[in-house]
């Protein structure tokens, strides 16, 4: 038994959360452990109660929604069931970006809200806000899914993720040491920065996994796929965790078996956004993604705006039932999903869905063969609100073309910043072209692409899996 993990989850981590102002985590944690097993009808009734409370709050405290109710000719009292929500218009990313101030509730102080910068994974970053209770609920929901892998609070984790080195390097020496100690000792995390992957960094991470022996690995699907192929190619065997959670990008069908072979653990896919937190996630039965219906309401709409039938693909629209600081009601995420009428035999009442289109993180390739992840590109785009939408195109290792649709407040300095940050990872010998455009073409499945790389890399050289006799 991991006694240190028991001490952490029973004493140390609750004390740390309390110190950091997370006063509502424990109540949400207990609630979500219970509500995941509610029968479907009781879950629907819970959603209706939460929706009605949210609508009433938004009507009285959000100027944007007050106008929308007026234009629709309805009041919160007119929306008695989930189906009645169709009376309200959809909220697009463009509308969220343009009217963020009016979307925010006027009965919250600025210091009571958490700010989140979206990743810009569709090429269009923006800022959103949520209140402190919602922040604690988001953390509790993420931990709930982490536990579906078999991991328990206090056990070790490893991340193949973007590391926020900018925030860390701005700390003083003492604060930096304290941050590293907290990461390892309290949160029990170790990281491979997914900003740039090469054989040296992945070899170091493999060695770290052998020492750290995490119970859970959390990773971008693309980065996990590259790392798993590296392990298979180099015949490196790392300690098997209980599971690998993939998130923030669309998990491609061909990636799952490679990740599971290389990391020696089942994949648990997770779908969420910076705007809403966890939306849906995969349980131990792997029969689809369970919608977090106790915190969000998910609609899937056909091309005509009507609800898509179960089993039919459509546009994913989400209502965050718990964010009162900046209500998001019928928010168009820009992804494509399918609702299912089936029930999972895991015993949870949470409904199922499937993702068939969404954010795909591509890579750029440096002259030395290092892979710069699309997630890093999304992060640097998010630092410049003046960028409306961006597409990186690479046809050779020594040139990257940057296409930009200007946003509000755009200046040429926004593109200068992109080039500067990209050059830090790409290294010398790379030139950059820039185009200011009116429109950026969509990719297959009508998806927004923000990175297209047509350059081969040694990390993707052909190889056979062990199961094929390698």
pLDDT value of position 451: 83
What's the predicted TM-score (pTM) here?
Answer: 0.83
Q: What is the CATH number of domain 363-460?
A: 3.30.300.30
pLDDT value of position 164: 57
User: Own/partner pairs for 81-86, CB < 8 Å, 24+ apart?
Assistant: 81/48, 82/44, 82/47, 82/48, 82/51, 82/297, 85/51, 85/297, 85/299, 85/319, 85/329, 85/330, 86/307
Number of H helices, E strands in the chain: 15, 20
Question: For residue 409, what is the DSSP state?
Answer: T
pLDDT value of position 309: 94
Mean pLDDT per block of 10 residues along the chain (470 residues) reads: 82 83 92 97 97 97 96 95 94 87 92 74 68 95 97 93 59 68 77 84 94 95 92 96 93 92 97 93 97 98 93 95 97 92 96 82 83 77 78 92 88 90 90 90 62 75 38
Between the CA of residue 107 and those of 115, 277, 418, 465, what are the distances in Å?
16, 23, 37, 57
pLDDT value of position 165: 46
Q: How many CA atoms lie within 13 A of 352 on its CB side?
A: 18
pLDDT value of position 334: 84
Pairing status of strand 399-406 against strand 431-436: parallel
Cα gap 390→336, rounded to integer Å: 21
Between the CA of residue 383 and those of 24, 35, 247, what are the distances in Å?
30, 37, 21
Beta strand segments in 340-469, E: 352-357, 363-365, 371-373, 387-396, 399-406, 431-436, 451-453
pLDDT value of position 468: 36
Domain ranges of the chain: 363-460
Cα gap 275→325, rounded to integer Å: 12
At a CB cut-off of 8 Å and minimum separation 6, what does 161 contact?
Answer: 191, 192, 193, 194, 218, 219, 220, 223, 375
Radius of gyration of the chain (CA): 22
pLDDT value of position 116: 76
395 φ, ψ to 5°?
Answer: -110, -10
């Amino acid at each position: 038994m991991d006694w240190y993990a028991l001490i952490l989850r029973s004493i140390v981590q609750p004390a740390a959360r309390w110190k950091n102002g997370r006063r509502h985590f424990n109540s949400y944690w207990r609630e979500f452990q219970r509500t995941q097993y509610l029968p479907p009808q009781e879950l629907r009734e819970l959603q209706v109660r939460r929706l009605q409370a949210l609508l009433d709050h938004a009507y009285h405290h959000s100027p944007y929604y007050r106008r929308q109710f007026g234009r629709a000719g309805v009041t919160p009292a007119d929306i008695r069931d989930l189906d009645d929500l169709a009376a309200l218009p959809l909220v697009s990313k463009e509308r969220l970006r343009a009217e963020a101030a009016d979307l925010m509730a006027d009965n919250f102080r600025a210091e009571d809200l958490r700010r989140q910068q979206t990743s810009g994974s569709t090429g269009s970053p923006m800022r959103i806000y949520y209140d402190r209770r919602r922040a604690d609920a988001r953390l509790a929901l993420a931990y709930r899914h982490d536990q579906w892998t078999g991991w328990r609070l206090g056990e070790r984790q490893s991340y193949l993720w973007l590391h926020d080195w900018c925030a860390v390097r701005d700390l003083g020496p003492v604060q930096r040491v304290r941050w590293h100690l907290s990461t390892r000792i309290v949160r029990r995390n170790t990281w491979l920065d997914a900003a740039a992957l090469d054989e040296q960094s992945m070899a170091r991470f493999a060695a770290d996994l052998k020492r750290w022996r995490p119970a859970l690995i959390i990773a971008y699907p693309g980065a996990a796929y590259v790392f798993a192929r590296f392990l298979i190619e180099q015949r490196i065997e790392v300690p098997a965790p209980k599971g690998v959670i993939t998130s923030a990008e669309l998990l491609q069908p061909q990636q799952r078996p490679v990740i599971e072979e290389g990391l020696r653990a089942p994949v648990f896919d997770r779908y969420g956004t910076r705007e809403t937190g966890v939306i849906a996630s995969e349980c131990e039965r792997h029969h689809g993604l369970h919608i977090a219906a106790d915190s969000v309401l998910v609609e899937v709409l056909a091309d005509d705006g009507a609800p898509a039938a179960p089993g039919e693909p459509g546009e994913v629209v989400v209502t965050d039932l718990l964010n009162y600081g900046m209500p998001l009601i019928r928010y168009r995420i820009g992804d494509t999903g399918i609702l299912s009428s089936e029930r999972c035999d895991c015993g949870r009442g949470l409904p199922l869905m499937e993702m068939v289109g969404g954010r795909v993180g591509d890579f750029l390739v440096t002259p030395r063969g290092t892979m710069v992840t699309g997630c890093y590109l999304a992060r640097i785009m998010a630092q410049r609100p003046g960028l409306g939408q961006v597409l990186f195109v690479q046809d050779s290792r020594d040139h990257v073309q940057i296409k930009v649709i200007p946003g509000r407040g755009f200046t040429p300095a926004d593109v200068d910043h992109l080039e500067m940050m990209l050059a830090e990872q790409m290294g010398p010998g790379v030139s950059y072209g820039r185009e200011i455009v009116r429109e950026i073409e969509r990719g297959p499945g009508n998806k927004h692409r923000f990175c297209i790389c047509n350059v081969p890399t040694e990390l993707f050289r052909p190889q056979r899996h062990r199961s094929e006799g390698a």
